[in-house]
Structure 1
Amino acid sequence: MSSSTPFQTNSKVIKWIEARLPIISTIDGALVSYPAPRNLNYWWNFGSLAGFMLVAQIVTGIILVMHYTPHVTLAFASVEHIMRDVNYGWLLRYAHANGASMFFVVVYIHILRGLYYGSYKAPRELLWWLGIVIFLLMMATAFMGYVLPWGQMSFWGATVITNLFGALPMIGGDIVTWLWGGFSVDNATLNRFFSLHYLLPFVICAVVFLHLWALHTTKSSNPLGIEIKGDQDTVPFHPYYTAKDAFGLSVFLMFFAYWVFFNPNALGHPDNYTEANPMVTPAHIVPEWYFLPFYAILRAVPDKLGGVIAMGGAIVILFFMPYLDFSKVRSAKFRPIYKQAFWLFVIDGLILGYVGAMPAEGIWIIIGRIASVYYFAHFIIIVPLISWFEKPLPVPESIAKAVLGDAAKA
């Protein structure tokens, strides 16, 4: 059975459009007849879930902007107006605020899936890099969005994080002044962040387009980590994976709905329900949960500039993963030592996240430093050493043989 067939239609209207703008055949090739590996599991659902969350964030954000006022004297009140007076404003605000957390949940899992199954290896290096660029843009967008409610944690979070750029030699002060739009976090800062928060999601859409383009050029990776060898290794994306994605989306929406309807404030900080006051510093300034591992790495270094470099390096090092892992076998299914190292890395990330939420004192500083050292050691030392000395298990000859066994010959 051939898994990919040319787009055909008997409609004269569609044929007329196709002769001038082949958009329908392009969509058909990407979402209907696209030859996907026949062995993709549910971990591959998180790419489509990330796309769904991006659209959900843009839609809810556009509607919220209709009622939001980006001014330091009105921003907090406008958010309260949305929550109390706008029809279903509470739903839009909770869906948008918790949607940011859900977006990061699926993207973190998506990245970890790529690390586990070796999706960063050739010929998919550019695909991997574009994914990390999307992650960086998400972090910038989420940080600026967190400032917009103009609560206590919004104001002081913006103050602390933007001040970090001041540690950069020579240009740091100018960058901070530009970010602030003056000499302190004030109305100009809020307007800058509002403008960029509204713009960056569309930049993310553009990079997602390139990400998908690269994906369809190099084809999807798969749990076995072997390349497609023919039509017997693939099935059409529709209906096989559209049905699978729809089921995954329905399960995810139930998880999402729990946070929106039953626990909407659990992932936020209570101080943000107090209007920003430059004269009162919160007892413990923390970012949103999805920044906590990197915040822990920042605090683990005593020197301010060193902490900024370490925090940035924690993300930049992901770009080098295709060259730090020398193993010819992609999937951790056939790499027992790498599999153990991967799960230790996940545990280390969870420890960093927990430490980031704790005060920077006592035992938490020591734990944070140990976990930070291990984070970088995983990429710089452990992964390369495993690549050199590990003896992988035998890899199947083809996807079809692994999935169908003897039936593949028939």
Structure 2
Amino acid sequence: MAIKFVRIYPKNRFLAWTEERLPLLSFLASHTTGYYTPKNLNIWYYFGVFALLVLVNQVATGIFLTMFYKPNAAEAFASVEYIMRDVEWGWLIRYMHSTGASLFFVVVYIHMFRGLMYGSYKKPRELVWILGMLVFLVLMAEAFMGYVLPWGQMSFWGAKVIISLFGAIPVIGNGLTEWIMGDYLPGDATLNRFFALHVIALPLTLLLLVTLHILALHEVGSNNPEGIEISEKTRPDGIPLDAIPFHPYYTVEDTLSVFLFLLVAAFIVFYAPAVGGWFLEHDNFTEANPLVTPAHIKPVWYYTPYYAMLRVIPHKLSGVLTMFAAIAVLFLLPWIDRGKVRSVRYRGRGFRIALIVFALSFVLLGAVGAGVTAELIPAWLGPEAPANTIENWFGRFLVCLYFGYFAFLWVYTYFGIERSRTPPDRVDMGATDEVRR
């Protein structure tokens, strides 16, 4: 039992009349005080709350920015400059939005990694995982549309490079590319389409998916670091012995963590909003010019692992398919992993090593995609070293490690090679039932 329905009877006559016809307060209570969560959740579980907080920030600041932004090639860059220089507190709202985009991916990537560690994608939470992956997919599209809107140099050339990927599709590729851009080059039509998608279609889809993700989670209950189902041990009233109400226990704890997160975010916004070009590229402070190509065209940091896969594979269509396959394979994870144990705490040594290698390969692919390795290779091996060749082979090796994780995981669990330990029956074996209550 994950949720216990709580009926609210307000003393206020108007609220009582409303609640009788639309039990909104009862619904909220059922998903807070009536939602029982494992008592042993740790710091890794904060990042789901952080993601929801950043989503609210993005919607609120985005509404403000749309009041002044002009989605056409002649005025887009100037309108952003107007927001930054002339609109009262406009610079703060813009930096909150741009910083929020990067922080969104920081917390989402950590949230996903926590799911990998503790097996949050395994039965009965397969749908929770799939909905979460759909959120991630829509978030990537939403961030890309927003990245193009400032119409700086990297916005223009990034749009041109990414949209041109569809040209790799046989037969219909070129026509599809022109249809998406609305022209032969990114311009007014592209900006108008991306603006409509960024402020209306994708946010509505994202909010719907986030709502479904949370409802699906509350239906089956939260996972925990032990990877055991707390619903199997219950009191006579059906409440799990090892669970506590989400409110007030975790809401108070989450409030403290939110304040600490906001403190870090505020430091970035006020003191280093560009983060040395990682959150806001230097080239994007220059207006888009189709006649001047930037020295290094690369996406913002949260796309770089997938961009690296595109870069290091010489055949264009193969690179595009590999990039999309890297995301698609995550959807299949609940069926790839046949292990009987959820949490990394009790899984075999092979799984732990493979998970570490997978995480390192993803981070290093990001370094390859950002061009960091191309700068370091001459420093390590000398200026005569063939940096591009070494970087390409290193990137291909990392791509193999990335996909090798899923292949290894299937073989490791399907053929029963994994030697896992047996998880405990209860979250805290030493506590009495009275203490648990």
TM-score under structure 1 normalisation? Answer: 0.95
* Runs of 5+ unmatched residues, structure 1: none
Matched, 1:278 2:296: no
User: Match for residue 8 of structure 1?
Assistant: 8
- Within the alignment, does 1:378 sit opposite 2:379 as a pair? no
Deviation at 1:393, TM superposition (A): 1.6
Secondary structure at the aligned position of 2:388 is classed as coil
Could you tell me which residue of structure 2 aligns to residue 220 of structure 1? 222
Partner of 2:185: 184
Note the alpha carbon deviations across 1:16-70, whole angstroms, 9 max, x for none: 2222111111111112321111111121111111111111001000101101111
C-alpha distance in structure 2 between counterparts of 1:272 and 1:298, whole Å: 22
**1:258 aligns with one of 252, 255, 267:** 267
Which residue is 1:27 aligned to?
28
Q: Is residue 335 of structure 1 aligned with residue 347 of structure 2?
A: yes
| Contact 2:151-2:288 within 8 A present in 1 as well | yes
| 1:8 partner SS | coil
- The reply to whether residue 54 of structure 1 matches residue 55 of structure 2 is yes
Alpha-carbon distance in 2 for matches of 1:75, 1:3: 48
Instruction: Give the corresponding residue for 1:211.
Output: 213
Is 356-365 or 17-26 further displaced after alignment? 356-365
**SS, match of residue 244 in structure 2:** strand
In the aligned structure 2, how far is the partner of 1:409 from the partner of 1:281? 64
CA distance in 1, matches of 2:23, 2:178: 48
Q: Mean alpha-carbon deviation: is it higher for 261-270 or for 95-104?
A: 261-270
Aligned to 1:365: 392
Instruction: Supply the RMSD in Å over aligned alpha carbons.
Output: 1.8
SS across alignment from 2:31: helix
1:387-406 superposed matches below 5 A: 388-401=416-429, 404=431
Q: Output the CA distance in 2 between the equivalents of 1:121 and 1:386.
A: 13
User: 2:382 maps to what in 1?
Assistant: none
Are the equivalent residues in 1 in contact too, given 2:156–2:186 (CA < 8 A)?
Answer: yes
Contact 1:3 1:234 (8 Å CA) reproduced: no
Contact 2:6 2:27 (C-alpha < 8 Å) held by counterparts: no
For 1:326, the equivalent position in structure 2 comes to: 338
Over 3 Å counting, the alpha-carbon distance change for 1:340 and 1:408 in structure 2 is: farther
d(CA) in 2 for partners of 1:400, 1:10? 37
- 5+ unaligned residues in a row in structure 2: which ranges? 235-239, 375-386
**Maintained 8 Å contact 2:117/2:344:** yes
User: Are 2:72 and 2:187, in contact at CA under 8 Å, matched by a contact in 1?
Assistant: no
Contact 2:37–2:245 at 8 Å: present in 1 too? yes
- Give the aligned partner of residue 135 of structure 1: 136
Q: Return the offset for 1:119.
A: 0.3
* CA shift for structure 1 position 409: 8.2
Give 1:111 deviation, angstroms: 0.4
How far residue 178 of structure 1 moved from its aligned partner, in angstroms, is 1.6
Contact 1:94-1:264 within 8 A present in 2 as well: yes
Q: Which residue of the partner structure matches residue 244 of structure 2?
A: 235
Contact 1:3 1:236 in 2 (8 A): no
8 Å CA contact retained: 1:130, 1:210: yes
The match for 1:291 is 303
Tell me the CA shift for residue 202 of structure 1. Answer: 1.9
User: What CA deviation, in whole Å up to 9, does each residue of 1:182-241 have, x standing for no partner?
Assistant: 222111011111111112112100111111111111111111111122231110111110
1:245 paired residue number: 254
Task: Find the counterpart in structure 1 of residue 377 from structure 2.
Answer: none
% identity of equivalent residues = 48
Kindly provide the amino acid, as one letter, of the partner of residue 345 in structure 2.
K
Cα drift, residue 71 of structure 1: 1.0
Distance 1:409 1:62, change over 3 A: closer
User: What does residue 360 of structure 2 align with?
Assistant: 347
> 2:326 maps to what in 1?
314
Mapped to 2, the partners of 1:384 and 1:205 lie a distance apart of: 37
After superposing on structure 2, the runs of 4+ consecutive aligned residues of structure 1 that deviate more than 4 Å are: 2-5, 405-410
| Aligned residue identity for 2:168 | A
The alignment covers a number of residue pairs equal to 408
Q: Deviations over 1:137-179 (max 9, x none)?
A: 0000101101011000000000000000110122222321121
